[in-house]
Amino acid sequence: MDQTLYQGEFFEHTTAYLDYVGKKANIDVNVLSRLKYPKRALCVSVPVRMDDATVKVFQGFRVQHSLTLGPGKGGIRYHQDVTLSEVAALASLMTFKNSLLNLPLGGAKGGVAVDPTKLSRTEKQNLTRRYTTEILPFIGPQQDIPAPDVGTDAQTMAWIMDTYSQSVGHAVQGVITGKPIEIGGSLGREGATGLGAIFCLEEALKVKNSDMKNKTIAIQGFGNVGSHAALYAHQRGAKIVAVSDVDGAIFNPNGFNIPELMTAYKQTKSLTKINVGENITNQQLLALDVDVLIPAALDGVITSKNANDIKAKIIVEGANGPVTPDANKILHEKGVTVLPDILANGGGVVVSYFEWVQSMASFFWDEDEVNKRLRFVITKAFKSVWEMSQKEGIDMKVAAMSLAMKRVEKGMLLRGLYPR
């Protein structure tokens, strides 16, 4: 395998971590060597006719890391910094997230290197439909089921579903998740990642003989995950004292009224333009003296350089990989509990799985049923990770990845290597 093919810091960190945990968990060496790299990766050119009649060509990707446990599952992101390396790393994390949550799914991820904020609605639709056409042979309800991610939403998923359905001649609801309710989406899907993170936090507080009431929480990121995590924590009596977006952060030691803040944010599109609280930086937010810190924006924001500045006793990884492996070791030694991304932000893929099941059966559940099932899955996974971390004397991130790798390993060994 040409290691330079996926060269990039995020992928290299992910691979190094897999190697570290794999050896610690005594994963079969042949299985481990296979898990370090994706099963397949597709790179496509996506030509789009823009509103001014010119044609621009964007780079797109779809990576399937493992299909051992079931069809691929993972989001599609539109962001100017998307690379093959990043998508490959995210696809591998999806493999282990689905495994840890005991879902019958493999890991995949996709993306297009584009700034979606600079596209008109027509341009975004043209981009989505052409990208879908390019990856069409690799996706399907039994092959690989995409979902929304950074820069994409329910409307994007609707265009993907329609493009796929047009190609086969009939409606295929199960090809995509995160769809609008009207065309087969699931109730509870929009806020599922944030709700799953709060379910996970509640369980962590329980084992520490505590609860959410009056806990101070700082949340980096106020997109779908961060805003919903803030809302559900607020509803449970926690004080959300700081939130942030790309422009900066705002701080109020008495806590924000999150429903009002969400309403104002929809209008201003910038937290720092809302006249509530004190303006601080994202780095200052991470170092606040709070009970809980939820990094729900980008990967690699807590590193060995700022880990010692962290004062929160619990970190909930709302984003993918916000705490680097080196930082995690430092935090563990400080007694900080890090709830790992493959557990804490798994709510989205759990409800995506529920949506897929409902679409395939053409039988849909009410929101209470969705949330009840989500809590069951998250709670069960949390208990497994917590018990292993306590039994083995290891941190939660290592415990979670060990359990996830063990399940994939068992599946790979049972299926064997074809051909021999």
pLDDT, tens digit, 9 for 90 and up, residues 65-82: 999 999 999 999 999 999
Q: Is 109 a catalytic residue?
A: yes
Residue 280 pLDDT level (bands cut at 50, 70, 90): very high
Buried b (16+ CB within 10 A) or exposed e, 18-51: beebbeebebeeebbebbbbbbebbebebebeee
Distance CA 29, CA 377 (A): 30
Asked whether 280 and 242 are in contact (CB, 8 A), the reply is yes
Tokens coding 93? 């994390």
In this prediction the pTM is: 0.94
How many other CB atoms are found less than 10 A from the CB of residue 213?
Answer: 10
Interval 238-266: pLDDT, tens: 999 999 998 999 999 999 999 999 999 99
List Cβ neighbours of 276 (8 Å cut-off, separation of 6 or more). 250, 252, 256, 261, 264
Task: State the architecture of 192-339 in CATH terms.
Answer: 3-Layer(aba) Sandwich (3.40)
Q: Which helix (H) or strand (E) holds 285?
A: helix 282-286
Q: Could you say which of 97, 109, 179, 215 is catalytic?
A: 109
As annotated, the residues of the chain forming the CATH 3.40.50.10860 domain(s) are 3-172
Q: Where in the chain is the domain with CATH 3.40.50.720?
A: 192-339
| Range 95-121 average pLDDT | 98
The pLDDT confidence band at residue 415, using thresholds 50, 70 and 90, is very high
Contacts 24+ apart (CB under 8 A), 390-396: 394/24, 395/328, 395/329, 395/331, 395/332, 395/338, 396/337, 396/338, 396/339, 396/340, 396/343
Distance CA 249, CA 324 (A): 22
Instruction: Report whether CATH 3.40.50.10860 matches the domain 3-172.
Output: yes
Q: Which residues of 213-321 form beta strands (DSSP E)?
A: 216-220, 239-245, 248-251, 278-280, 292-295, 314-316
Helix or strand (DSSP H, E) at 159: helix 154-168
Least confident of 272-276, 351-355, 382-386, 388-392: 272-276
